[in-house]
A and B are shown apart, each in its own frame.
Chain A
């Protein structure tokens, strides 16, 4: 998988933001999974917001791919929050028999961001110098991107 999925992955500070605005078929979903994981390791992102508010349906393959992506991201020390699932999609997913139980979800980007920020704050070992300037040592070698 060399090509990128055409879905943009934006970096915002320590997080990534993905907004899926197009209907996905299986190969696109797999490509997106790869792209997200690749960007996490490239940017050292601590969290990813995946906005699916434009998705009119999530079938078993897309649902599983999203859930797998979240598990894989966790091994890269990044949290994934799925944002904006339409109520009809949520109802259908449950009836389909798909459990997205482990995947964190939020109503909208704001809430999703709060979730990630809270988690990040809770995890920071240096709670007394949370400005972060001194915490960045790991990334020094990479410079700007």
Chain B
């Protein structure tokens, strides 16, 4: 498992490339590697934008499936309305609102735990084709 702190924008680059590298080691093809790197970029940006800092865990274990699991944890303001946040085009900042719904589409599973004022934990998984 790899654990990386998000404190500045350059950390997002590091997380992207670590996730892509692990995806490649696990055996994902190029398109899936790109999907994973892109989803990771969106979610890491959310941490940086909304919480200022946080951490990311990248692991090659998402039992019972085979694949990659990436967890984003922050102590930011939390997401008030998750359903709304997953709506295409909805954003509370000047972004396009593609981050969360886009990342969900690119991955096979997304789980969001969030508490207003306490923080957010987003877990995504991508599974190897069987």
Contacts and interface: CB of A to CB of B under 8 A. Distances in A.
Given A95-B35, A95-B106, A96-B106, A60 B99 contact: yes
B38 A92 contact: yes
Contacts of A95: 35, 102, 105-106
B102 A60 contact: yes
27 contacts: A23-B16, A25-B9, A25-B10, A25-B12, A25-B13, A26-B45, A27-B9, A56-B20, A57-B16, A57-B34, A57-B37, A57-B41, A58-B38, A59-B42, A60-B42, A60-B95, A60-B99, A60-B102, A86-B34, A87-B31, A88-B33, A88-B34, A89-B34, A91-B34, A92-B106, A96-B106, A98-B102
A88 B17 CA distance: 16
Interface string B94-130: 0110110110011000000000000000000000000
B61 interface: no
Interface string A53-75: 00011111100100000000000
B31 A88 contact: yes
Nearest to A98: B98
Contacts of A101: none
B98 A96 contact: yes
A97 interface: yes
Interface in B19-40: 20, 30-31, 33-35, 37-38
Interface of A: 23, 25-27, 56-61, 64, 86-89, 91-92, 95-98
A60 B42 CA distance: 7
Contacts of B88: 97
B45 A59 contact: yes
A130 to B, nearest CB: 41
Given A27-B9, A96-B38, A98-B96, 18 more contacts: A25-B10, A56-B37, A57-B16, A57-B20, A57-B34, A57-B37, A59-B42, A60-B95, A60-B96, A92-B31, A92-B35, A92-B106, A95-B102, A95-B105, A96-B42, A96-B102, A97-B88, A97-B101
Interface string B63-105: 0000000000000000000000000100000011011011001
Contacts of B42: 59-60, 96
A98 B95 CA distance: 12
A17 B102 CA distance: 31
Contacts of A89: 34
Which 10 residue pairs across A and B have the least CB separation, nearest first?
A: A60-B98, A96-B102, A88-B34, A25-B9, A59-B41, A88-B31, A57-B37, A57-B38, A92-B34, A88-B30
